[in-house]
Chains A and B, each alone.
Chain A
Amino acid sequence: MTDFLGLSAEECTQLLRQMMVSRRFEEKAAEAYQTGKIGGFCHLYTGQEAVAVGSITPLREDDYIVTHYRDHAQAIVRGITPGAVMAELYGRVDGCSGGMGGSMHMFDKSLRFMGGHGIVGSHLPLAIGVGYSIRYREGDQAVLVVFGDSVVNIGAFHESMNMAARWRLPVIFLLENNKYGMGTEVSRVTSVRDLTKRGLAHDRLTTVSVDGMDVLAVRQVMDEALDRARTDKTPSFIEARCFRYMGHSMADPAHGTYRTKEEVESWRADDPILQFRARLVEAGRLTDEQYEDLDREAIAEAEASADFADASPVPDAGAIYRHIYSGPYPDSMTRRDGWREVV
């Protein structure tokens, strides 16, 4: 891939920059979690940046993304500001979901970023619904749905692929195979070693596996999948082989009972940011000074996101009932807990 897929030096720098911003953002999130600014579950994307950047940057503005709970980096790559993502983690009104979603539920309707979903596999049916709406309106958009390796064993995975393939829905099923569903290595609970086999059961579904640590490799298979989605209206199943450096969530260790420190280190040696940097430097497209500048900017952006989140107000109590129904919350229901006079 010496031609960098026809991307200019500037475009390549943008890919690198997006990975670096994601990395520094997650580091800041980890710090904020440890100081108690962020609560609940907080699943970091560190190590998987090439998958988000390679898969999301080729999308058009009118394409859709439906994703899982490890969604901070994807939200940022799609264009939600780091400040809005961090404010969401802080539970503040300027969060991209108004502080009502949290780490697992990033949304931005204007960017067609349709969540952040916390029940493993439950969002694949949502994605085929979006795909159905595209065919229904005779559009040429595509839906990118991102999920982890555990999902290949879930019924909704098979049901959704079946409908997408049968009805030619323009859905790209992107499996982030980071090898572990929480603390269980996927092969311990899965009847196939090669997870792409799970895509072979459907006519009209193109299945491909790609090195998820290589941003250009991911981008290339996404370009091809998008072309199929737009022209043939057929779905694709992409396995991106990758690795998360951190524990499943901030509450979990990076290594220990289920994987070794050596394994984590061996994947780090193949780091998506460092390997892309090396390739760009080797091709004369990037200098070390430029890289250092990018890193300083990424750190500054992460810091600024935290400052923005800190300055954002907490939601007022009225937010509890504000968006349960499109119309007013029925008074007969709120009377039932009226003695608390919360709102």
Chain B
Amino acid sequence: MPVITYREALNQALREEMQRDDSVFLIGEEVGEYNGAYKVSQGLLHEFGEWRVRDAPIAELSFGGLGVGAAMAGLRPIVEFMTWNFALLAIDEVVNGAAKMYSMSGGQFNVPVVFRGPGGTALQLGAQHSQSPEPWYSYVPGLKVVSPATARDAKGLLKSAIRDDDPVVFIESEIMYNLVKDDVPDGEYLTPIGRADVKRAGSDVTVITYAKMLHQVLAAAERLEADDGISAEVVDLRTVRPIDVNAVVASVRKTNRAVVAEEGWPACNIGAQVVDDIQREAFDYLDAPVARVSGLDAPMPYARNLEKLVVPDADQVIAAVRHVCGRRGQS
């Protein structure tokens, strides 16, 4: 299997789906002539032409809504937001439009649109460009929210998202575009939306995570094994709406301990929901309260030293795991 980057995986997914289905088109800022602000759409304008790879004005609200309207008329639009920070301007079209159309039309107009782009923190991008939008969208019935952490999952999930008959919010990462590389199968494959993946098997504790934080969690798991002899099972949610509660619960019932780790703010985040799912469906199996690791509850500071304090890393995961396993931290 070839090793490719997260970016190349997304590019392959876009190209394959556009070749397969004439109704798929891409619209967003810089997606065409510039080949994408982060080069995810490299080469697509040349291959498919301007009606299928459309450079948009800087007007997220309306090109986001354009995607919803085109989907209602039977196309399969992919709306690229240069980052999810800018997508806040379009949240009305995503929430009041895409998510509710099928229900409020009594099942007449489903909306097969994908909204995609990078979210989360990068490096010193400051307050307005560093945030995790998953909880905002995961709150909304009618949406599916996907945030893959590997190239393999990115490709398989984006292809599934494009073929999905409902609106999918697909959240990538500036950092992962280049830095994440892994084995991607040759040829066609689909990764199902709504299915978690055990990225590392273990027996002492379950760490539930998604997106970029997965890589911190996997690093933490290696160190815990080596330093503490703790065997951590790592569950990558991959989809945060709907959460694969069955997979989470099955793992926690096996390990009897759980930590939920994510990059975003702590209040009302994905982990908060997962903790509820665990206490509701696995309470009697727990040997300790579930611990949560998240970013600090603050707008992202620019200063490099402060940003490092705000964004959680493997050290916090290790501390949380030791805590739920009844071990004292080594300081």
Q: A residues bordering B, Cβ < 8 Å?
A: 64, 66, 95-101, 105, 107-109, 114-115, 117-119, 122-136, 155-156, 159-160, 162-163, 166-167, 322-327, 330, 332-333, 335-336
Report if B66 contacts A (CB, 8 A).
yes
Residues of A close to B43: CB separation below 8 A: none
Residues of B close to A135: CB separation below 8 A: 51
Whether the Cβ atoms of B69 and A130 lie closer than 8 Å is yes
In the complex, the chain A residue whose C-beta lies closest to that of B75 is A133
Which listed residue, A109, A160, A327, touches B165 by the CB 8 Å rule? A327
Report if B67 contacts A (CB, 8 A).
yes
> How far is the CB of A334 from the nearest CB of chain B, in Å?
10
Residues of A close to B56: CB separation below 8 A: 163
Q: B residues bordering A, Cβ < 8 Å?
A: 25, 51-52, 54, 56-57, 59, 61-75, 77, 92-93, 96-97, 101-110, 141-142, 144, 165-166, 194, 242-246, 276-277, 280-281
Whether the Cβ atoms of A109 and B108 lie closer than 8 Å is yes
Whether the Cβ atoms of A129 and B242 lie closer than 8 Å is no
11 A-B residue pairings within 8 Å (CB atoms): A64-B73, A114-B109, A125-B68, A126-B65, A126-B93, A128-B69, A132-B70, A136-B75, A160-B65, A162-B57, A323-B103
Whether the Cβ atoms of A333 and B242 lie closer than 8 Å is yes
Whether the Cβ atoms of B51 and A97 lie closer than 8 Å is no
| Given contact pairs A126-B68, A132-B66, A325-B144, a sample of 20 additional A-B residue pairs in the complex whose CB atoms are under 8 Å apart | A64-B73, A97-B104, A99-B106, A105-B105, A109-B108, A109-B109, A117-B97, A122-B65, A122-B97, A130-B70, A130-B73, A133-B74, A134-B73, A136-B75, A155-B61, A160-B62, A162-B57, A163-B57, A332-B245, A335-B280
Residues of B close to A109: CB separation below 8 A: 105, 108-109
Which listed residue, A126, A324, A327, touches B141 by the CB 8 Å rule? A324
Whether the Cβ atoms of A125 and B63 lie closer than 8 Å is yes
Which listed residue, A95, A125, A134, touches B61 by the CB 8 Å rule? A125
> How far is the CB of B85 from the nearest CB of chain A, in Å?
17
Whether the Cβ atoms of B96 and A101 lie closer than 8 Å is no
Whether the Cβ atoms of B104 and A105 lie closer than 8 Å is yes
Give bound CA distance, A301 to B215, whole Å.
66
Residues of A close to B144: CB separation below 8 A: 325
Whether the Cβ atoms of B165 and A124 lie closer than 8 Å is no
Whether the Cβ atoms of A101 and B69 lie closer than 8 Å is no
> How far is the CB of A119 from the nearest CB of chain B, in Å?
5
Whether the Cβ atoms of A159 and B69 lie closer than 8 Å is no
Whether the Cβ atoms of A126 and B92 lie closer than 8 Å is no
Whether the Cβ atoms of A326 and B102 lie closer than 8 Å is yes
Whether the Cβ atoms of A156 and B165 lie closer than 8 Å is no
Residue of A101, A135, A162 with most chain B CB atoms under a 10 A cut-off: A101
Residues of A close to B54: CB separation below 8 A: 167
Residues of A close to B106: CB separation below 8 A: 95-101, 107, 323
> How far is the CB of A167 from the nearest CB of chain B, in Å?
8
Whether the Cβ atoms of B69 and A126 lie closer than 8 Å is yes
Which listed residue, B69, B75, B108, touches A97 by the CB 8 Å rule? B108
Give bound CA distance, A85 to B86, whole Å.
38
Give bound CA distance, A324 to B52, whole Å.
28
> How far is the CB of B35 from the nearest CB of chain A, in Å?
20
> How far is the CB of A12 from the nearest CB of chain B, in Å?
33
Whether the Cβ atoms of A129 and B51 lie closer than 8 Å is no
Whether the Cβ atoms of B62 and A326 lie closer than 8 Å is no
Whether the Cβ atoms of B105 and A122 lie closer than 8 Å is no
Which listed residue, B51, B63, B97, touches A163 by the CB 8 Å rule? B63
Give bound CA distance, A66 to B97, whole Å.
13
Residues of A close to B108: CB separation below 8 A: 97, 107-109
Give bound CA distance, A27 to B260, whole Å.
57
Whether the Cβ atoms of A163 and B66 lie closer than 8 Å is yes
Give bound CA distance, A100 to B103, whole Å.
7
Whether the Cβ atoms of B105 and A100 lie closer than 8 Å is yes
Residues of B close to A327: CB separation below 8 A: 165-166
> How far is the CB of B76 from the nearest CB of chain A, in Å?
11
In the complex, the chain A residue whose C-beta lies closest to that of B51 is A136
Give bound CA distance, A129 to B74, whole Å.
10
Residues of A close to B97: CB separation below 8 A: 117, 122, 126
Whether the Cβ atoms of B93 and A125 lie closer than 8 Å is yes
In the complex, the chain B residue whose C-beta lies closest to that of A106 is B105
In the complex, the chain B residue whose C-beta lies closest to that of A126 is B69
Whether the Cβ atoms of B166 and A326 lie closer than 8 Å is yes
Give bound CA distance, A119 to B61, whole Å.
13
Which listed residue, B72, B107, B110, B280, touches A129 by the CB 8 Å rule? B72
In the complex, the chain A residue whose C-beta lies closest to that of B60 is A159
Which listed residue, A122, A127, A333, A335, touches B93 by the CB 8 Å rule? A122
> How far is the CB of B55 from the nearest CB of chain A, in Å?
10
> How far is the CB of B96 from the nearest CB of chain A, in Å?
5
Whether the Cβ atoms of A129 and B71 lie closer than 8 Å is yes
Instruction: Report, nearest first, the 7 A-B pairs whose CB atoms are least far apart.
Output: A129-B69, A125-B65, A98-B106, A159-B62, A126-B69, A323-B107, A332-B245
In the complex, the chain A residue whose C-beta lies closest to that of B110 is A326
Whether the Cβ atoms of B107 and A98 lie closer than 8 Å is yes
Give bound CA distance, A126 to B62, whole Å.
8
Whether the Cβ atoms of A136 and B70 lie closer than 8 Å is yes
> How far is the CB of A323 from the nearest CB of chain B, in Å?
4
In the complex, the chain B residue whose C-beta lies closest to that of A118 is B96
Known: A163-B57, A326-B110. A115 touches B101 (CB 8 A): yes
Known: A100-B103, A125-B66, A136-B51. A159 touches B57 (CB 8 A): yes
Which listed residue, B52, B104, B165, B245, touches A335 by the CB 8 Å rule? B245
In the complex, the chain A residue whose C-beta lies closest to that of B79 is A129
